[in-house]
Amino acid sequence: MRNIFCQAITTGTMWLRLLPVRNLTIIALVAAVVGPSCARAQTCRSNDRGCTAEGAMCSPVSSGTGPTGICSTQQTLPKGNAKCKCVGELPLSLTGEWKGDDGGLYYLRQIGNDLWWAGFSTDTMEWAPYLHNGLAFTNVFHGTIEAGTAAGDWVDVPRGRILQNGTLTLSVSNNLISRQSATGGFGATRWTRTSSPSPEDIFTIFSAVKKNQDEWRDHSLLDNLKPAKAKPVAIFGTISQKSMKNTDPDPMHVNYLTTYQRHYDDFICLARDFICILGACFNIGGTPDGDIDFDMVVDRTELDHQTGFWNGPWETSHNVTSDDFRNKLDHYEQQLHVESIMYGGTTECGDNAPTSYLLPGWQQSGSSSILFNGVPVAGNLELMDRDSSSARVDSILRTPIAFGNRVRVTGNLVLDCGHGATHRCDEDEAGEYNQEIHPLYTLDLVQDFNLPRRLALLTGAWSNNDAGTYYLRQIGNTVWWLGMSVDEGQSFANVFRGTLQNNQISGEWADVPLGATTNAGTLTVSAGLGDLSTTLTRLAVSGGFGGDTWQKLYDVGSRTFVMVFDDATTSAAVWPSMTVAVPFEITIGSQRVEAQPTHPHRVKLPNGQQVTQVNLNTRVTIAPPRLGALPVSVNFVGYRASWMLTESDQKPGIYAQPIKAPRALPVASIQEKRQLTDQRTEATGPAGRPTSNGDDVMPELMIHYHIEKANPE
């Protein structure tokens, strides 16, 4: 009876205005008696969006309630604007791009009750297709959905700096995901749907990126570079001195002097040689472009084995073919020139608008920098001027560069068509040496796996013959990975979870919607040396997985050691800031700890000097970065020290580090300052010079630490 009255009241909206006022009153009384179900009944506003009001039901109702109901218009009525029948709840579909409240982007894939994802940290509000997300953290997840809850395991993979793992339980709906519980230090608590813009084509991007050259018709990358492929490529080779243009005495150089300023405005406005005719001025050359240059000999066997390199899409509409490019390589004995731009910005000199960075550059920071073994270069080059316009690159991120280094370069394959008013690209001229990777996106220095690596695991960065990069993480005998195509995952991105047993890894994989593919299946690969394997070979597969061989680029997080900060000493008679008990702030890589000084006491050093010593007794377990140098800094009431812990120093031993004194020490009282400076003793400074501890000199401070193995044998 109630449903009949509900239906009558709802359908009555078509003739209510024809009734006298007293009849409207009667219907209102009937609705009140029938109850809230009638008050919430509504007509369907759309044929696919469901009920539009919270708690509403489609009318007339046959099944299903609430805003998740799906409206199905009756056949005799127009779609989407008349009464409908509720035919059940909208099915749960979590596949898509989600934004976490940690600022990360998460790409979810739901396959039945299985849920997979790949999550990436972001450090910029601007989105560009070839910049690098996930440098702070990149995690993968695999779980099961049941009754509005998803539960499973998550793992950080070594694209980012953090390597943690744990479990997650989530409350899931089509537009909101909330964290119920987590272990292992997972950050995000809430996710909402989002979407990234579609990427521009590479010709549009090249046209938008400006250079510091002001020659006629030469303001953007597109003015002298012609992309040979629409998407980046990944190529192995060896840094070579043999160049078909010029024999470079240095393995790598940059067309920029150490005396030049490096801010974008300084770079884009750097122009030195002009000629002016009738008020119009032109650059006649000589402006250093800021590019890093080197030459390499391509590993042709590796390249020919790469899936789709030669028979994949080439810019044939722009007269670039695979045959012509192959002929250039063959003619010049597999030589390929490589250049990394300094900035990939969009503004000319003098523009008032802020610049956007569309391509990675070696002076840019964070996600917009080129990567060296997965780490942003961000201007960290050791340079020495060698002529009037260029400098030798001795090291990148304190890693020496040498002829013979085996590398993998990722970037745009182009033809350099030259500069000026007229220039040719010589697409079909095998004898014209103008084949380049330009600009460079990532430079991977392949690890020498012949050196001892007893503590190594499968964890690290790997290359596949599908040109993708695979970030593997081994935890016990469980192996996870995130695989990404060479175009930052736009073509494909997949997550794998498997088990290492008897030198084989078997498990499941699924594509996530960062990429364009939507496959999933099972996979078994051979790992002939188990944990120490540096190559993997596909044995069995289902679901359309593409690559079949992997080779390791470098280990990550395999070596661990402990830094123990034992004590600190000062040349003063008393310990600084005793009354405020200020701790030492110690940062090692991305880890930050505090060491509280305790038990101040006077001691005599072996050289006879009397000093004040405090105990620190602070232990820090370190997983070194994939590159050798580890930054360390110490701050204490104005005293500061920073140094790099090189690979040769990351070994058991006893060490001491002087800490630079401030000009004025923040102290709790005038009396404390007197205590610090009253004692006049002779001490030896870091450079071996005698220094006076008079009223005009701050006391010396030295911190002592030792390094021990994390897992003593």
Distances from the Cα of 284 to the Cα of 273, 296, 349, 421, 434, angstroms: 6, 30, 17, 11, 22
Q: Which of 87-96, 376-385, 461-470, 591-600 has the lowest mean pLDDT?
A: 87-96
pLDDT at residue 582, rounded to an integer: 86
Contacts 24+ apart (CB under 8 A), 603-606: 603/569, 605/569
Distances from the Cα of 118 to the Cα of 142, 144, 600, angstroms: 9, 15, 50
pLDDT at residue 126, rounded to an integer: 75
Residues, the chain = 713
Compute the distance between CA of residue 51 and CA of residue 410 in angstroms, rounded to an integer.
50
Q: For 564-628, give the DSSP string.
A: EEEEEEESSSS-TTTTTTPPEEEEETTEEEEE--EEEEEEE-TTS-EEEEEEEEEEEEE---SSS
Mean pLDDT (whole number) for 507-521: 98
Compute the distance between CA of residue 4 and CA of residue 255 in angstroms, rounded to an integer.
84
In this predicted model, which residue has the larger pLDDT, 573 or 260? 260
* Count of C-beta atoms within a 10 Å radius of residue 217: 12
Compute the distance between CA of residue 442 and CA of residue 399 in angstroms, rounded to an integer.
15
**Beta-bridge mates of residue 668:** none
Coil, strand or helix at 708? strand
Mean pLDDT (whole number) for 277-299: 77
pLDDT at residue 89, rounded to an integer: 54
Token couple for 296: 């390499």
pLDDT at residue 91, rounded to an integer: 83
pLDDT of 217 above 60: no
Fold for 460-555, please state it. Lipocalin (2.40.128)
* Count of C-beta atoms within a 10 Å radius of residue 134: 27
pLDDT band at residue 32, thresholds of 50, 70 and 90?
very low
CA angle 317/321/327 to nearest 5° reads: 155
pLDDT of 63 above 70: no
User: For residue 339, with 0-12 CB atoms within 10 Å meaning exposed, 13-18 middle and 19 or more buried, which class applies?
Assistant: buried
Q: Which of 76-80, 156-160, 176-180, 636-640 has the lowest mean pLDDT?
A: 76-80
In this predicted model, which residue has the larger pLDDT, 621 or 274? 621
Q: Which of 97-111, 212-226, 283-297, 418-432 has the lowest mean pLDDT?
A: 212-226
Whether omega before 712 lies within 30 degrees of 0, making that bond cis, reads no
Report the Cα 288 to chain-centroid distance in Å. 29
pLDDT at residue 440, rounded to an integer: 98
Fold for 561-709, please state it. Immunoglobulin-like (2.60.40)
Mean of pLDDT over the chain = 82
Compute the distance between CA of residue 48 and CA of residue 79 in angstroms, rounded to an integer.
10
Coil, strand or helix at 694? coil
- Of 674, 670, 692, 667, nearest in space to 682 by CA: 692
The pTM (predicted TM-score) of the whole model is: 0.74
Compute the distance between CA of residue 373 and CA of residue 393 in angstroms, rounded to an integer.
17
